[in-house]
Structure 1
């Protein structure tokens, strides 16, 4: 495991990020934004897969202000509940600043464009990153509460791709309809729906994974990044 240090935007502290480097010069960089379970094995595997495809991949430890190094297993009920507790304490605005600090480091290290891809909480943060930073492209998988963030859509200046499972038990049909109504006509936003799929369907491992839809979503993400980070 390779961990690197990221300096905060304020320059008064630093936090760690998992780093996966490609063989040869990177095509650009992609930041993987964690779920509520921390930078666990699944998130690190996402980075490793991106590096194998030629990207510099970084996964910042966004819970570091609460407790550095949190790694939880969503398939263990007690750990799932612990993760929900951490999410309740997490300062999302500070998290976006930490993502922005990671974007700056990724630009320096890769010499190219930078994208973000996030899952669950990370899907929400990917949307917020698209609206609040100069990231070159963003992807959100099953982001929670996006219907409450539609007031920020005017800030989305670069391409954003959203993957929405239609049976997401954290995002009901009313919320999904609001997301479509608010974003379908946005010139920078693309939305894909996944009938019959639930939250977490594209995780790398565990009970939540739905392989066919996960592979389809990941193929769409790969094409999106290839087209927008070239």
Structure 2
């Protein structure tokens, strides 16, 4: 498995952020920012970063902190999310990755965050693997995803396990309808019986992984 590294990165404007990244062995096909689950940069996040690097992508995950909570009630945590991803994109640009070669992918709560980023930034592509907060906000810091899906400015793919939950299925179908109103390419795929993390169904997880790679292959050029 490709090795991951950690760096305390400082931008020219003084903003600092801890980044965990992995580099491809060969040519770099593009750059991906990986948004982690609640709990910080876990082994699962490092594994995803390393796996993407093994496929030729320069992959980096920023330490986001508690972007899911907003004690001040003024949207500061939501802005922290966008600021952190902007810093990670700046890190990729410094390494020669530009424009449509930049993408974002998130899983679990990071999947929620990836859609938020894709609705606020113009990138080559974005992918959400699971993520709550579809019909009602996951936290005061984040909008309900159905309210912003129609304003997506980056091509976006959503992958959701529904666990056989009819309410969850209906939510995802509504999200799919709203995303279809965006002026960019979108697709939403449900996996019946799979968990939101795809832990319980190896076949669904393998198929979802191939969809992720195919989406970035198609849109990051």
Normalised to the residue count of structure 2, the TM-score between the two structures is 0.81
Corresponding residue to 2:35 among 33, 36, 39: 33
Corresponding residue to 1:134 among 122, 135, 158: 122
Residue 152 of structure 2 is matched in structure 1 by 156
Give secondary structure in 1 for the equivalent of 2:196.
Answer: coil
CA distance in 2, matches of 1:135, 1:6: 22
Corresponding residue to 1:47 among 49, 54, 69: 49
Aligned pairs for 1:69-218 (under 5 A) are 87-88=68-69, 91-112=77-98, 113-147=101-135, 148-167=144-163, 172-186=168-182, 187-201=184-198, 208-218=199-209
Give secondary structure in 1 for the equivalent of 2:128.
Answer: strand
- The answer to which of 209-218 and 123-132 deviates more is 209-218
Flag structure 1 segments of 5+ consecutive residues without an equivalent: 67-85, 202-207
Contact map agreement 1:4 1:18 (CA 8 A) in 2? yes
Give secondary structure in 2 for the equivalent of 1:32.
Answer: strand
**Aligned CA distance change for structure 1 residues 89 and 219 (closer, same or farther; 3 Å):** same
Normalised to the residue count of structure 1, the TM-score between the two structures is 0.78
Deviation at 1:89, TM superposition (A): 5.3
Residue 5 of structure 2 is matched in structure 1 by 2
CA distance in 1, matches of 2:168, 2:11: 35
Deviation at 1:53, TM superposition (A): 1.0
Deviation at 1:173, TM superposition (A): 3.6
CA distance in 1, matches of 2:200, 2:10: 34
**RMSD after superposition:** 2.3
Flag structure 2 segments of 5+ consecutive residues without an equivalent: 72-76, 136-143
Give secondary structure in 2 for the equivalent of 1:125.
Answer: helix
Deviation at 1:179, TM superposition (A): 1.1
**Aligned CA distance change for structure 1 residues 168 and 100 (closer, same or farther; 3 Å):** farther
